[in-house]
Amino acid sequence: MPWAGTLGSVSREGVTPQSEDFSAWYNELVIQAELVDRGPVRGTMVIRPYGYRMWELLQADLDGRIKEAGHGNACFPMFIPESYFKREAEHVEGFSPELAVVTVAGGKELEEPLVVRPTSETVIGEYMAKWIESHRDLPLLLNQWANVVRWELRPRMFLRTTEFLWQEGHTAHADEEDAMRETMWALGAYAGLARELAAIPVIEGEKTPSERFAGAERTYTIEGMMRDGRALQSGTSHYLGTNFAKVFDITYQDEDGKLVHAHTTSWGMSTRMLGGVIMTHGDDKGLVLPPRIAPYQVVIVPIGRDEAAERTAAAARDLAGELKRAGVRVHVDDRSQLRPGYKFNEWELRGVPVRLEIGPRDLDGGAVTLARRLGDQGKEQIPLDRAAELMPGILDDFQAFLYTRAERFRDEHTADVESWDAFPDQVSQGWARVFHCGRTDCEDAIKADTAATPRVIPSDAPEEHGVCFRCGEPSAYGKRILYARSY
């Protein structure tokens, strides 16, 4: 059995209903479904096998896209000399409050403290400068899968933890055009991952200046709507211009022999995406996992006592073998000390897309009983000998169903807002499509009153002009932008 012993018994109480207290629902669910446990140090998490497998499935897909586009994976040290870190002024200002610092090592006080990387632009910039000499060395396309540390005062599993896992792409290019092409490539890869694997219908676009990455010229994001109407940013891509190239001296000789600064980018997708999956699809009963990232796509529960139990367990194992050969991730829950109803609840809490029940009567009729986690609520019987052949299609349909459901939810909770009056209500349960003046003081006032912030200037929004819904000044950005409360 895969992960023998890693499936403990879920508490019988279930979780606080989502509709009652979204935040309590989330916090209880991630623990009870055994995705994570609280770490020993404030704000850290232990990712348990059931949660980590989802991360691996996301990782495998994104890593394929990254490699296919010509990037090489690397591994840079996680300890960054404090002096490197301080070179880019905006960058250090943005990250300083969140740093963890090693001051003692090998039994001695260090001469120079070491920052545990919160992100790696600085250390990678140092090596780009060393490795790049000529225009022939460009583009330099690097990526790393790594853990990073940002000290969190308001931690929340997956969404904001002191240590988290991510990939960070870092690339250097001859000019702005090539660097921007890369920046948009990464954004597209994240959007594809979110839509195709996580079944999150994200909106792509640029961030307003106040929401930019510390040190970037332009920051792009993908934003998804959670089931409480808040927005979650689950991947960002930055065009850094020559900001880091100038402080780290990343230069190259162009074709005329002239020394020029490179243009760099960086982009990251983290374990935060798993928080997005939970909050986009989950319901009162627990997790609802998109098949493409579900650790188990199908769980088979054999039913019956005594010798009936032996027959159905044997049939369950045979079917599991067939499903595996058909490329389905399947688990047989043959724990004899637990009753079927308990198991059904547990696998619903854990979000398994499809449950197959095999009882003696199913077997006699050459059938198996299928129950989907959502959608077609009733159980149906399918022929046992065709189950393996049908399953990939059933899972694809379920994946598509989750996407469409989330898209409908998002669209139903998004509205054009023309005036300040209507705004607080809209952002209390969804997103507002608004004209905004683009001024920071106006953004700040809106945030102070409603906690809502500009999430994204959608790439595909039509050109439109109007007046700021808050202050009445002419609108910026040439289009409506999305405003929402966010994680």
Q: Which of residues 427-486 bind Zn ion (CB under 5 A)?
A: 437, 442, 468, 470-471
101 sits near its own copies (criterion: CB under 8 A): yes
Q: 20 contacts which partner out of its own copies, Zn ion, none, CB within 5 to 8 A by kind?
A: none
> Within 13 Å and on the Cβ side, how many CA atoms surround 393?
5
Residue closer to its own copies by CB (options 106, 257) is: 106
Residue 101 CB, nearest distance to its own copies (Å)?
4
Which of the stretches 162-170, 213-221, 227-235, 479-487 binds its own copies when contact is defined by CB under 8 A? 162-170
81 sits near its own copies (criterion: CB under 8 A): yes
Residue 485 CB, nearest distance to its own copies (Å)?
25
The number of residues making up the chain comes to: 487
Q: 39 contacts which partner out of its own copies, Zn ion, none, CB within 5 to 8 A by kind?
A: its own copies
In angstroms, the CA 278 to CA 289 distance is 8
List the beta bridge partners of residue 456. 482
Contact 477, 469 (CB under 8 A): no
Any residues with CB less than 8 A from the CB of 299 and at least 6 apart, and which? Answer: 330, 331, 332, 333, 343, 347, 352, 354, 355, 356
Residue 54 CB, nearest distance to its own copies (Å)?
11
Residue 427 CB, nearest distance to its own copies (Å)?
30
Residue 386 CB, nearest distance to its own copies (Å)?
28
In angstroms, the CA 217 to CA 266 distance is 11
List the beta bridge partners of residue 332. 300
115 sits near Zn ion (criterion: CB under 5 A): no
84 sits near its own copies (criterion: CB under 8 A): yes
Which residues in the 30-89 window bind Zn ion by CB under 5 A?
none
Q: 329 contacts which partner out of Zn ion, its own copies, none, CB within 5 to 8 A by kind?
A: none
Residue closer to its own copies by CB (options 328, 481) is: 328
DSSP letters of 323-340?
HHHTT--EEE---TTS-H
Q: 147 contacts which partner out of Zn ion, its own copies, none, CB within 5 to 8 A by kind?
A: its own copies
Which DSSP symbol is given to 118?
S
Choose which of 61, 121, 163, 206 interacts with its own copies (CB under 8 A). 163
Which of the stretches 121-129, 191-199, 284-292, 392-400 binds its own copies when contact is defined by CB under 8 A? 121-129
Binding flags for Zn ion, 275-304, as an x/- string (CB under 5 A): ------------------------------
Which residues in the 338-367 window bind its own copies by CB under 8 A?
none
Burial (0-12, 13-18, 19+ Cβ within 10 Å), 293: buried
- For 265, the 3-state DSSP assignment is strand
Phi, psi angles (nearest 5°) of residue 46:
-100, 120
Which residues in the 418-447 window bind its own copies by CB under 8 A?
none
Residue 443 CB, nearest distance to Zn ion (Å)?
8
What region does 478 belong to: left with phi over 0, alpha with psi -120 to 50, or beta? left
List the beta bridge partners of residue 283. 286
Choose which of 14, 27, 79, 184 interacts with its own copies (CB under 8 A). 79
95 sits near its own copies (criterion: CB under 8 A): no
- For 356, the 3-state DSSP assignment is strand
Contact 431, 225 (CB under 8 A): yes
Residue closer to its own copies by CB (options 98, 385) is: 98
In angstroms, the CA 329 to CA 479 distance is 44
Q: 44 contacts which partner out of Zn ion, its own copies, none, CB within 5 to 8 A by kind?
A: its own copies
Q: 377 contacts which partner out of its own copies, Zn ion, none, CB within 5 to 8 A by kind?
A: none
In angstroms, the CA 276 to CA 357 distance is 30
327 sits near its own copies (criterion: CB under 8 A): no
Choose which of 12, 106, 378, 460 interacts with its own copies (CB under 8 A). 106
Residue closer to its own copies by CB (options 128, 191) is: 128
Which residues in the 43-62 window bind its own copies by CB under 8 A?
44-50, 52-53, 55-56
130 sits near its own copies (criterion: CB under 8 A): yes
Contact 39, 45 (CB under 8 A): yes
Residue closer to Zn ion by CB (options 358, 437) is: 437
Residue 254 CB, nearest distance to its own copies (Å)?
15
In angstroms, the CA 88 to CA 122 distance is 8
Q: 30 contacts which partner out of its own copies, Zn ion, none, CB within 5 to 8 A by kind?
A: none
In angstroms, the CA 101 to CA 201 distance is 38
Burial (0-12, 13-18, 19+ Cβ within 10 Å), 97: exposed
Binding flags for its own copies, 132-161, as an x/- string (CB under 8 A): -x--xxxxxxx---xx-x-x-x--------
Contact 142, 171 (CB under 8 A): yes
Say how far residue 389 (Cα) sits from the centre of its chain: 31
Q: 468 contacts which partner out of its own copies, Zn ion, none, CB within 5 to 8 A by kind?
A: Zn ion
Closest CA to 92 of 111, 119, 112: 119
Residues forming contacts to Zn ion in the complex (CB under 5 A) are: 437, 442, 468, 470-471
